[in-house]
A and B are shown apart, each in its own frame.
Chain A
C-alpha cells in the first residue's frame, strides 16, 4: 500500500493545525513550570517565563510538612489502588477468558455495561456507602470504591483469549491446576499488557481529583491534588509560585512513567484491539 501523500498547501495547513493543538496542550504546562520558577515579585508579570529564575518555590514546598504528607498519601493510595485493581482485573479476566460457567455471558455483559456508566452517576451512592462504613477521610475510602476496573478486566480478557490454548493444556498435562496455570504460565507471558495497564491505572489514580475531594477532610487522607488547593487561600493570599511548583512536582511521576513506557502502552492497546 502506498503512503498517503498531501499537497504542499495541505501539508502546511495540517502542520499549522497540529502546532496549534500542540501549543494548546503544552502552553498551560509551560506556563505552570515558568510560574513555578518565578520569584514572588514576578508572579503577575505578563511574561510567561521568569526574568530572575529561582528554585525558592520548590525549596519552600518541599520543606512544607503538609506537602510531604500529601505526597505520602498520594503515593500510598495510588500504589495500593493500582495493585488492588491489577489483582482484581487479572482474576476476573482469567475467569471470563478461561472458564465457562452459568451466567458467564450475562456477567461479562454487566462488566461491559459498567464501562459505559459515567463515574459521576455512582459517586453519590458510593459516598453514602463509604460514610455508612465509617471510611470517610481514610485511605480505605479513597481506594476501595475504585478497585473494580471494568476496562482493565476487558483489556486483560482480550489478551488472555489470544493466549495459545495449547499452553494451558500443556500445563494441565504437566500437573498444574488453574491457579498454577495462571501464576506460572499465563501471568509471566502477560507482563507487557499488565505493565501497560498498570501505567494507565497509575496515571489515572495519581491524577484523581474528584473522589479524594469528596472523601478527604483532613491531612490524614488528603492527596497531592487536593492538598495543593491549600495554596489558594483568601485570608493569607494566594501563593501561586508554591502552587505551581507543587503542580509541577505532582505531574512528574505520571509524566516520567508515561514517557518511559509510552511505546509499550500504545502497543498493548493496539494489539488487544487486533487480537481479541
Chain B
C-alpha cells in the first residue's frame, strides 16, 4: 500500500522558509500533482518525500510508517528526475536494472523484470543503447521505465516533461497517466504547468511562496478557486480579476456593474464571457483593444470606456472584430467570483 502522509512538514534554508507547515494525505493509488510557480516549494516538498532533503519540522509517513528520518534508499519510492538522470556510462538495460542490482536481485530476475518493464514502455529494442544514443522522448521513457521496474510503493515525478517539445509533452503525459492508472501506484507529480496538472491529477496541490493555497480536484479548483492566486494560476488564459468598489447598491468594476454584496475584487474567466447582453447576467461593455487568433478560438482584449483595465474574452471561432469596434459581453452570475480584501474567495455573485 502506498499512502503518503505529510504532517506539519516544513523546510527552512537558513532564514528562508522554502515550505511552511504542509499537511497532505495522499490515498493509495492516487495521482496528486504539486503545482505552482518557480520557487513555490513544490520540488523541495517532493525531495522531502523522496528523502533527498531533510525536513526542518513535521513527519512524513509512507504506507503508515514514519520515514522522516530514513534516507532515500531506505524508502520504497522511485523517482523520475527533470533531466532524467540516466547514468551515462550504462546501457538502457543497465540503467533500468541498477536499482534491482542494488537490491541484490539475481541476474536472471533482473533480466526478466527489465524485459517486462521495457516491453510496457516500448523500449525493448533500445535496451543495448546508451543514453547519448537516445532522443529526449526515449530518455524520458527510460527514466519512467527505471522507476516502474522496481514496483515501488510511490512514484515521484519532478517535472519529467519539461524538457520535451510541446507535441511530445502532450502524448507523454497521456502515457504517464495511463501507465499510472494501469499500475495503480500512488504518484506525486511536480510541475509548473497548470495544464499538465489539470489533465493528469486526481487532486492538485497549488503552492505559492512555500504555502499551500488549495488542495482540490481539478474541477473544484477551476470552479471554486480558494483565492485570487489560485484563480489566476489555474486556467489559461488566466481569470480576469479586477478591483471592485461598492456604492451601497452595486458592485462596480471598469466596464460594468452588478448587484452583489461588497467585495474587494471580481473574477470572471475569459471563456465565461459571451457576446451580447443576457438577462440577469454580469454585463461588460467597451471597445476591442486587440484580437488574437488562438486557432479554433479568438482572444479579444476588451477595453472599457471608463477604466484602464483590459478584460480578456475568449470567443469561439473567428468573429470579425477589429480594434476600436464596440463590444458588449456578459457572464452568468454563477461564474462571477467575488474575493475579499485578503484575496480569499467569498463566493459567486449568484
Which residues of A approach B to under 8 Å, CB–CB?
164, 166-167, 169-177, 180, 184-185, 188-189
Contacts and interface: CB of A to CB of B under 8 A. Distances in A.
Contact of A169 (B85, B87, B103): B85
B81 A174 contact: no
Contacts of A174: 73, 98-99, 102, 146
Contact of A172 (B72, B86, B89): B72
14 contacts: A164-B83, A166-B81, A167-B87, A169-B50, A169-B85, A170-B81, A170-B87, A171-B87, A172-B71, A173-B52, A173-B77, A173-B78, A176-B73, A176-B98
Contacts, number: 55
Contacts of B52: 169, 172-173
A169 B88 contact: no
A180 B87 CA distance: 13
Interface residues of B, number: 22
Interface in B64-111: 71-73, 77-79, 81-83, 85-89, 98-99, 102-103
B83 A166 contact: yes
A29 B315 CA distance: 84
Contacts of B71: 172
B126 to A, nearest CB: 19
- Which 3 residue pairs of A and B lie closest in terms of their CB atoms, listed nearest first? A175-B102, A170-B85, A174-B99
Given A180-B102, A189-B88, A189-B89, A173 B79 contact: yes
Nearest to B87: A185
Contact of B85 (A166, A180, A189): A166
Q: Which of A164, A172, A175 has the most CB of B within 10 A?
A: A175
Contacts of B102: 174-176, 180
Q: Which of A169, A173, A176, A184 has the most CB of B within 10 A?
A: A173
Contacts of B77: 173
Contacts of A180: 102
Question: Chain A at the B interface: mostly helix, strand, loop or mixed?
Answer: helix
Contacts of B82: 166
Nearest to A190: B89
B256 to A, nearest CB: 51
Nearest to B82: A166
A175 B75 CA distance: 9
A69 to B, nearest CB: 41
A177 B71 CA distance: 10
Contacts of A172: 51-52, 71-73
Nearest to A176: B102
B73 A170 contact: no
A184 B101 CA distance: 11
Contacts of B103: 175
A170 B82 CA distance: 11
A96 to B, nearest CB: 21
Nearest to A177: B73
Nearest to B89: A188
A223 B99 CA distance: 48
A184 to B, nearest CB: 8
Nearest to B74: A175
B22 to A, nearest CB: 21
A180 B104 CA distance: 13
B271 to A, nearest CB: 39
Given A171-B98, A173-B77, 7 more contacts: A164-B85, A169-B52, A169-B79, A170-B79, A173-B99, A175-B102, A189-B89
Contacts of B89: 188-189
Contacts of B81: 166, 169-170
B39 to A, nearest CB: 18
Contacts of A169: 50, 52, 72, 79, 81, 85
A262 B130 CA distance: 27
Contacts of A184: 98
Nearest to B88: A189
B84 to A, nearest CB: 8
Interface in B223-250: none
Nearest to B71: A172
A226 to B, nearest CB: 41
A175 B87 contact: no
Contacts of A171: 87, 98
Contacts of A177: 73
A172 B146 CA distance: 13
A175 B101 CA distance: 9
A225 to B, nearest CB: 38
A173 B52 CA distance: 8
A205 to B, nearest CB: 28
A188 B98 CA distance: 14
Contacts of B85: 164, 166-167, 169-170
B282 to A, nearest CB: 49
A184 B87 CA distance: 10
B43 to A, nearest CB: 11
